Chains A and B, each alone.
Chain A
Amino acid sequence: MNCKKSEKYIPLLAGNELSATKAAKVRAHLEKCEACLREANEIEGALKAAKTLARLEGAADWSESEWRHLLRSIAATKMEKKSVWAGLSLKPALAGSLALILIIAGAFLFLRKSPTQLNTRATLQVPSQNMVKPDQQNGKQDAQPITIISKETGLKIIWFYNKNFNGEGYGK
């Protein structure tokens, strides 16, 4: 054990709060290091001094009239009914409630979205009445527009699908 680690453990050694193994390691270091030994002695001395001061300090007490007055106030107090939360400590109760809220919220969000929306972040509009169909006037082609708008960027892609397109003129 080095001085840095020892410094961390010395205050706890003074109050016997270290495990036997750790305490033995710290004591072994103290035998070798004078500075750490001095620090350990000072902390132990200070702790004893604080305890002595607390013991020597005259214990505070109520006067009899104050104590009687307090007991009368208690007798006039109405006892609360047993709470449904009694016996439950706050942390598990809080964690349980939070988990329940998250599960309900998650299930709600999951059920609100359709499977197709879960896979893509874009919206699909088909067919769009406002879209211009190419060659609609001469009837040579029968084009169906499909608009895809990205929710994130707002990018709009309009795809025309012509079922009469036969690939003529391409690849030449």
Chain B
Amino acid sequence: MNEREKTLVERVLSGDLSAFEPLITPYRKPLLGLAYRIARNSEDAKEVAQETFLRAFKYLKNFNVEKSFKSWIYQILVHAARNYRNKQVKYETLMMSEPVKETAVAGGDDPERRHDDEEIRSRLMDCLDVLTPREKEVFLLRDIEEMNIQETAKILRCSAISVRVHLSAARKKIKERIKDRYPEYLGREP
């Protein structure tokens, strides 16, 4: 854990609640981005990310300052996303409805940029759709968030071997999807 985060955590724990904002601000975008890629919907992603920050604050006393705050907060996010997904599955089964379609979270007011963003997002989501929930978590943490195998295993509370197995399967599936639908990314004609 870096010294800055350690100091901020200690300040929050000693009662200076204003130190919590600088502590979580570096994770403001990354956590929302990851939540969005897991949840596939901006509203759900915001709910998952909000739950993550609230839980991080609520249980900060249980956090071991000698360990990585980043791993800890990502662990909370993955757990919150799983809970949310389970609730959604139950709700959708109950209502017999289609899963909620993804909506844009970024892109600003520029319509052209927004269109490009949506196109890229839908392609990325399309690739991620072929993965199982666990493969998706592993792929996002290791390949998109660029965490190492040990960190990924710690966040997902599984072994490094399990991470390697799921990562291997995920990369094969992603390759097949890109080869099949977006061959231009592999330097081929569509």
A77 lies within 8 A of B58 (CB): yes
Is A50's beta carbon under 8 Å from chain B?
yes
A58 lies within 8 A of B143 (CB): no
Known: A43-B171, A59-B106, A74-B53. A80 touches B178 (CB 8 A): no
Main secondary structure of the interface of A (DSSP, over half): helix
Q: Which of A81-89, A98-106, A159-167 contacts B (4 or more CB under 8 A)?
A: A81-89
Q: For residue A57, give the distance in angstroms from its CB to the closest CB of chain B.
A: 5
Q: Mark A58-82, 1 if CB is under 8 A from B, else 0.
A: 1111100011001101110111111
Q: For residue B162, give the distance in angstroms from its CB to the closest CB of chain A.
A: 13
Known: A8-B168, A17-B167, A53-B123. A66 touches B46 (CB 8 A): yes
On chain B, the residues within 8 Å of A47 by CB distance are: 143, 171, 174-175
Q: Size class of B's contact patch?
A: 35 or more
Bound Cα distance from A42 to B135, whole angstroms: 19
Bound Cα distance from A49 to B164, whole angstroms: 20
Is B29's beta carbon under 8 Å from chain A?
yes
On chain B, the residues within 8 Å of A78 by CB distance are: 58
Known: A58-B113, A74-B20. A82 touches B62 (CB 8 A): yes
B127 lies within 8 A of A73 (CB): no
Q: For residue A138, give the distance in angstroms from its CB to the closest CB of chain B.
A: 81
On chain A, the residues within 8 Å of B108 by CB distance are: 58
Main secondary structure of the interface of B (DSSP, over half): helix
Is B89's beta carbon under 8 Å from chain A?
no
On chain B, the residues within 8 Å of A14 by CB distance are: 171
On chain B, the residues within 8 Å of A48 by CB distance are: 185
B178 lies within 8 A of A50 (CB): yes
Bound Cα distance from A14 to B172, whole angstroms: 11
Closest chain B residue to A52 by CB distance? B185
On chain B, the residues within 8 Å of A54 by CB distance are: 37, 124, 144
B143 lies within 8 A of A50 (CB): yes
Bound Cα distance from A66 to B169, whole angstroms: 37
Bound Cα distance from A11 to B185, whole angstroms: 17
Q: Which of A15, A46, A57 contacts B124 (CB 8 A)?
A: A57
Closest chain A residue to B140 by CB distance? A54
Is A51's beta carbon under 8 Å from chain B?
yes
Q: For residue B79, give the distance in angstroms from its CB to the closest CB of chain A.
A: 12
On chain A, the residues within 8 Å of B58 by CB distance are: 77-80
A70 lies within 8 A of B50 (CB): yes
Closest chain A residue to B127 by CB distance? A50
A50 lies within 8 A of B53 (CB): no
On chain A, the residues within 8 Å of B121 by CB distance are: 57-58
Known: A60-B32, A71-B21. A46 touches B185 (CB 8 A): yes
Is B182's beta carbon under 8 Å from chain A?
yes
Q: Which of B53, B123, B149, B172 contacts A43 (CB 8 A)?
A: B172
Q: For residue B25, give the distance in angstroms from its CB to the closest CB of chain A.
A: 9
A17 lies within 8 A of B149 (CB): yes
A61 lies within 8 A of B171 (CB): no
B42 lies within 8 A of A60 (CB): yes
Smallest CB-CB A-B distances: 9 pairs? A58-B106, A49-B185, A60-B105, A46-B175, A11-B171, A86-B62, A82-B61, A58-B117, A11-B168
Q: A50-B127, A58-B117 are in contact. List 13 more A-B contacts (CB 8 A).
A: A15-B142, A42-B179, A46-B174, A50-B144, A51-B143, A54-B144, A60-B36, A62-B32, A78-B58, A80-B59, A86-B61, A86-B62, A86-B64
